[in-house]
Copies of this chain bind each other. A is one copy, B any other.
């Protein structure tokens, strides 16, 4: 019933970059990890994956680090879930029935489906920009964890 910790680190990292990026500057992994209170190398893998998938740009060497790709702020949050956790867990039957489906639903199917669909819908419609906007109203997040 839980998105992974990796997802939490990843989305917080994206939002941190969105908030703190200055023209021509990269946000270093070290900096990111400290600010988010996330394990540096674990976060490194997550950022690597986000880089492979084109959500961020990464630069090596001095002054290196991460910046958001242009289009990333307008991606729906579900794309971040997909990149980090995948969408498998949205498909599995909560009771463990292999044959559970729309046509042949388990006793919890509709209940769980309502939850999952609602959540999915919300993750599909909210963009990172929306989320940054909410955070901008509350500076205490992403800073003093």
Interface residues of A (CB under 8 A from B): 1-3, 5, 7-9, 11-12, 15, 77, 85, 89-90, 92-99, 104, 106-108, 111-112, 114-116, 118-119, 122-123, 126, 130-131, 134-135, 138, 140-141, 145
Q: Does A107 contact B131, Cβ atoms closer than 8 Å?
A: yes
A2 to B115, CA, bound (A): 11
A–B complex contacts, Cβ < 8 Å, 27 sampled? A1-B119, A2-B2, A2-B89, A2-B94, A7-B94, A7-B95, A8-B95, A8-B96, A11-B95, A12-B95, A12-B97, A99-B140, A99-B145, A107-B126, A107-B135, A108-B122, A111-B123, A111-B126, A112-B119, A114-B115, A114-B118, A114-B119, A114-B122, A115-B116, A115-B118, A115-B119, A118-B118
Residue of B nearest to A130 (CB): B107
Copies in the complex: 2
Q: Does A97 contact B2, Cβ atoms closer than 8 Å?
A: no
Q: Does B118 contact A131, Cβ atoms closer than 8 Å?
A: no
A12 to B98, CA, bound (A): 12
What residues on B are CB-neighbors of A122 within 8 Å?
108, 111-112, 114-115
Q: Does A138 contact B104, Cβ atoms closer than 8 Å?
A: yes
Q: Does A96 contact B9, Cβ atoms closer than 8 Å?
A: yes
